[in-house]
Structure 1
């Protein structure tokens, strides 16, 4: 299959410098490979969503020259697909209901490791649902960060794929939609690096192919925190896109063309000199 990449933001705020870096990095990798670049809005966690931010993000991206090759997919419209994947896992006895409280989990070091709930069943309330994980290492080679390995049972245990409230987890929804959209390459921030083994395990359980992965360094604030967690998240300005786009390219190790007078020219010049192998593996850059 030809290259299909994607940018998949969550609507928890406006587009900021960190998410712009992820968008530009994924766009450059897709265009460098002669492939497609898709958009997906990961709006399946209503308590965390900020009203209007999905529309704001989608309106901002074209101002930075980032135009998708297909209509945007909203995860909130894909619940039936997640229901089907959940039922497939349930029928295969891959998942189990869990009524554990925080105190129950604290007594077990916060993790489930034996494929069953350690609390008594409470049929008067809805459970969370967890997937059983193997006692083995999950390996993958990240195109930028190199060989990665995680023993799921020790690192995360039997993790939740459907919450008590009925919301599906990011891990399940992401895996189902990457498969449905035919994503061959996932380029995203390295804060999601430790999610990848969980997603690979879900892909195996559901019979989905595993895409290639490339995790970009994170843009951090002056205190070393991920930018989206910072009070100074530095929203980018779609009305004046060139300064923010130049900063994003510089962060990705690309010297921006100072003679470019519009975003199209700036991206075209960046793409002409872009090679994913030259991306920085980590970064000491901070937003002040």
Structure 2
């Protein structure tokens, strides 16, 4: 099977250092396997989106020499695919509507206990839609992290596939899109380890072979907060592309040559592809930079 990887940023903000690490890790892993590196914009949540961020992210990647294969996929253009799958599950009684609030779930201990499983509620604005958990995943093997155990209550929970506000859930969209794009391996940050079990379960429910997963260490600021748009991480500066690229590659465990800064960005990336290996990645999940 030919290797297919992807990078799937959310346009809730501009590309920051943590995003660059995820982009580079997925890029090097794909290209080191002579594979494809695809691009997907995960614009599922309009209220959280920053105007112009999608275009800006793509331009920033280009200025760092990161060229993707094929056309960019936008989740905002794929709603009919997500809805069609939800309708199929509803018609087969594999999914159901739920009126439980976050407050109620929190009062139950933080996990959904299935109150609406047999309520026969019809799809209505203000109700979420949950999938009956048919294939609970309590553990999986990560290519870098090793064996990951998922709490039993979380693994067996009927999770949301369409939110109360009418937007499609991340777990549903990401799996449907990875299948559509033929992705064989997902490389992303360690902050997304928790939903991996649900995504593997979705593959099984859909009768598909799950992809493999590689979760990269997270870059943290001096206050111990991860670089993220929610934490208002500063966008990376394209005017300092080569030093920033070097910093990100060092974070990923590369032992760079002394004269590396004098290389072109293209040569830096080609060197990275040639010298990439998973074993070089830091063993810690969180690293202050």
Provide the residue aligned with 1:214 in structure 2: 214
* Contact 1:136–1:153, Cα closer than 8 Å, also in 2: no
Provide the residue aligned with 1:279 in structure 2: 281
Provide the residue aligned with 2:228 in structure 1: 228
* Contact 2:136–2:155, Cα closer than 8 Å, also in 1: no
Further displaced range: 259-268 or 117-126: 117-126
Q: How many residues align?
A: 287
Further displaced range: 146-155 or 11-20: 146-155
Runs (5+) with no aligned partner, structure 1: none
Root-mean-square deviation (CA), in Å?
2.3
Further displaced range: 210-219 or 138-147: 138-147
For residues 85-164 of structure 1, the aligned pairs below 5 Å read 85-114=85-114, 116=116, 125-134=125-134, 136-151=136-151, 153-154=153-154, 157-164=157-164
Provide the residue aligned with 2:199 in structure 1: 199
* Contact 2:217–2:286, Cα closer than 8 Å, also in 1: no
Provide the residue aligned with 1:73 in structure 2: 73
* Contact 2:97–2:122, Cα closer than 8 Å, also in 1: no
* Contact 1:136–1:151, Cα closer than 8 Å, also in 2: no
Detail structure 1 runs of 4+ shifted over 4 Å in the superposition: 117-125, 134-137, 229-232
Structure 1 residue matching 2:158: 3-state secondary structure:
coil
Runs (5+) with no aligned partner, structure 2: none
**Deviations for 1:31-77, whole angstroms, at most 9, x for unmatched residues?**
11110000000001111111111111011101111100111100000
1:267 offset after TM fit, Å? Answer: 1.1
In structure 2, do the counterparts of structure 1 residues 231 and 180 end up closer, same or farther at CA, with 3 Å as the change threshold?
A: closer
In structure 2, do the counterparts of structure 1 residues 181 and 10 end up closer, same or farther at CA, with 3 Å as the change threshold?
A: same
- Give the Cα separation in 1 of the matches to 2:248 and 2:69: 22
* Contact 1:44–1:167, Cα closer than 8 Å, also in 2: yes
- Give the Cα separation in 1 of the matches to 2:119 and 2:127: 11
TM-score, length-scaled by structure 2: 0.91
Structure 2 residue matching 1:40: 3-state secondary structure:
strand
1:123 offset after TM fit, Å? Answer: 8.1
- Give the Cα separation in 2 of the matches to 1:124 and 1:95: 14
1:192 offset after TM fit, Å? Answer: 0.3
Structure 2 residue matching 1:239: 3-state secondary structure:
helix
* Contact 1:188–1:216, Cα closer than 8 Å, also in 2: yes
In structure 2, do the counterparts of structure 1 residues 64 and 270 end up closer, same or farther at CA, with 3 Å as the change threshold?
A: same
Provide the residue aligned with 2:184 in structure 1: 184
Further displaced range: 65-74 or 235-244: 235-244
